[in-house]
Structure 1
Amino acid sequence: MKLKSTLYWASTLLVVLVFTATGILNLMGNNHILTDILHLGFPTYIMKILGFWKVGAAISILLPKTVRLKEWAYAGMLFDLSGAAFSRMSIGDPAQMIIIPLLIMGLVVISWISRPESKSGFSIVPKI
């Protein structure tokens, strides 16, 4: 039980850090992220939309007693990260640029799988 709790908090805090930092940088119009957005062929206004939802998702998975909201936040994170990996793959970016969002996606999945029952509204394994 201690390992599960440690996995949950370590992965969740890393995910929150990544999504909060990148979300804020998106909202601020960071030049590095702007260059990436243009490189991927997206319009610049997508930065503000992604920034808003990334920060919102990061906050949501930390809020107590918001099980349904957490499920949506985790789903949104997976959509964002799988979309990032696929977008990079589609334009022929190097493997490391595709692997980075997939590794972060792995942290999101670890956080979701290891979350305590009090933060869970859905489980892959049925309760008996």
Structure 2
Amino acid sequence: MNKMMIGSETITKAEARSAGKVAAYWTVTIMLAFSITLSGIGQLMRMGGNVDLVTDIGFPLYITNILGTWKLLGVLAILVPGVPRLKEWAYAGIFFLMTGAALSHVYAHDYGDAGFHVILPLVYAALGIASWALRPNGRKL
């Protein structure tokens, strides 16, 4: 049987799977957008450990302006409707930015407490991959 009851409505299993995929997409995408937005704002305002985070591995402080701006623009590109090609670039940018951050900390031997400086950017990269993979058809090229 390909139909199931949800409350008083009958839907197909394909519709239920599609609805589950959309819910998973938005859950992961909101987590990604929230995390990257907070990170970008923190870098632009040089809040918390953002200054030490970049200068301890040898980057100039102005890199926070560049990274923070690109992060916020990337989040906007992912969240706004339409512009599927720009979304592709934004997802790629987040992946390269986050894996580059993790590798930069590895090469500088700056792992942070329990590897936090490496693990967190890789988690963000994984969220980006998951969001990209779960995109509804209307958000794809």
Q: 1:23-34 maps to which residues of 2 (within 5 A)?
A: 23-34=40-51
Distance 1:100 1:93 in 2: 13
Structure 2 stretches of 5 or more lacking a match?
A: 1-17
Match of 1:124 in 2: none
Aligned: 1:100 with 2:117: no
TM-score normalised over the length of structure 2: 0.82
Match of 1:126 in 2: none
**Mapped contact 2:29–2:131 kept (Cα < 8 A):** yes
Aligned: 1:9 with 2:29: no
- What per-residue deviation string (whole Å, max 9, x for no partner) do you get for residues 31-90 of structure 1? 410110111110011000001100000111011111011111101100110101101111
| Aligned length in residues | 121
Aligned-residue identity in percent:
37
Match of 1:68 in 2: 85
TM-score normalised over the length of structure 1: 0.90
- What per-residue deviation string (whole Å, max 9, x for no partner) do you get for residues 94-122 of structure 1? 3332111111111110000000000001x
**Mapped contact 2:57–2:110 kept (Cα < 8 A):** no
Q: 1:1-128 maps to which residues of 2 (within 5 A)?
A: 1-94=18-111, 95-121=115-141
The letter for the 2-side match of 1:106 is A
**Mapped contact 1:7–1:110 kept (Cα < 8 A):** no
Distance 2:48 2:23 in 1: 35
Which structure has more RCO (C-alpha within 8 Å, separation ≥ 6)? 1
